[in-house]
């Protein structure tokens, strides 16, 4: 996996002995989960709401003796479904990747690096919009540090399908961004 989020040292595989482990998971997963939801198209407030609801569900799940296997995948699946429910409830599509906001931030950098970074992110944002929703979601979950098996559980697809989808998405980005 790529990126800082892909940290295999995180103690996700250990068995959770009681509900207090949810607090540890919250500290470890909150930021990458927020990152995933925001990249998925939720606003910051919406993403915060979904994260809170997700960990409330996790607490209930653990205290009621629910399965503790692959709890990270479980958390992402619940958050993913809640994000989808919000999309359906408000009858809208997830908004586009955040080109304009990133432009605003990059203006603060030095002129040369700002221009280069802005162009790079604009190009990447456009390329990501050209991906199909499953390709984009697989890529974002991969970037969040999830294994293919976990991504498959979150999205309800086979691991082999995840592998193919990620492969296709990365190739598309490489082609569109002229890397």
Partner 1 sequence: MCEYSNKLISLLDHELPAEEAVKVELHLESCNECRGQISVFAKVSREVDAYCNEAITVNARRVAPAWASSAIAAGVVTAVIVLFLAWPRARVKPSTMQLPPVATANSLGVAGSSVSGSVPSIHRNNMRHAGAVESRIVPVQNNNSSSAQRIVTYDSQEEPMIQIAIPADEIFPPGAIPEGVNFLADLTIAADGTAEGMRLRPMLAGFERRTTRP
> Using CB under 8 A, which of the segments 3-11, 19-27, 50-58, 71-79 binds partner 1?
3-11
Q: Contact between 170 and partner 1 (CB under 8 A)?
A: yes
Closest to partner 1 by CB, 62 vs 154, is: 154
∠ CA 36-40-42, rounded to 5°: 100
Segment contacting partner 1 (CB under 8 A): 17-25, 67-75, 85-93, 143-151?
Answer: 143-151
Q: In this structure, what are the phi and psi dihedrals at residue 86, rounded to the nearest 5 degrees?
A: -65, -40
Residue whose C-alpha is closest to residue 83's, from 130, 147, 35: 35
Dihedral sign, Cα of residue 121, residue 124, residue 125, residue 126: positive
Query: Least Å distance between CB 61 and partner 1?
Result: 26
Place of tokens 């193919």: 164
Contact region with partner 1 (CB under 8 A), list: 49-57, 64-72, 87-95, 169-177: 169-177
Residue 73 as a binder of partner 1 (CB under 8 A): the answer is no
CB of 47 to partner 1, least distance (A): 8
Burial (0-12, 13-18, 19+ Cβ within 10 Å), 104: exposed
Cβ atoms within 10 Å, residue 28: 16
Residues near partner 1 (CB under 8 A) are: 1-5, 31, 34-36, 38-39, 43-45, 47, 97-98, 101-102, 104-105, 120-121, 124-125, 128, 139-140, 142-144, 147-148, 163, 166-167, 170-171, 173-174, 177, 179
């Amino acid at each position: 996996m790529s990126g800082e989020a892909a940290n295999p040292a995180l103690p996700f595989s250990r068995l959770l002995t009681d509900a207090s482990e949810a607090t540890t998971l919250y500290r470890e997963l909150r930021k990458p989960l927020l990152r995933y939801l925001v990249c998925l198209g939720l606003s910051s407030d919406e993403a915060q709401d979904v994260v809170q609801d997700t960990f409330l569900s996790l607490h209930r799940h653990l205290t009621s003796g629910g399965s503790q296997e692959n709890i990270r995948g479980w958390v992402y699946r619940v958050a993913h479904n809640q994000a989808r429910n919000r999309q359906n409830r408000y009858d809208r599509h997830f908004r586009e990747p955040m080109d304009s906001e990133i432009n605003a931030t990059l203006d603060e950098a030095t002129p040369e690096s700002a221009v280069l970074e802005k162009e790079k992110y604009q190009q990447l944002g456009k390329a990501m919009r050209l991906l199909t929703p499953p390709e984009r979601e697989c890529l974002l979950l991969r970037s969040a540090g999830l294994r293919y098996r976990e991504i498959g559980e979150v999205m309800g697809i086979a691991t082999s399908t995840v592998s193919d989808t990620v492969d296709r998405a990365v190739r598309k980005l490489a082609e569109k961004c002229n890397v």
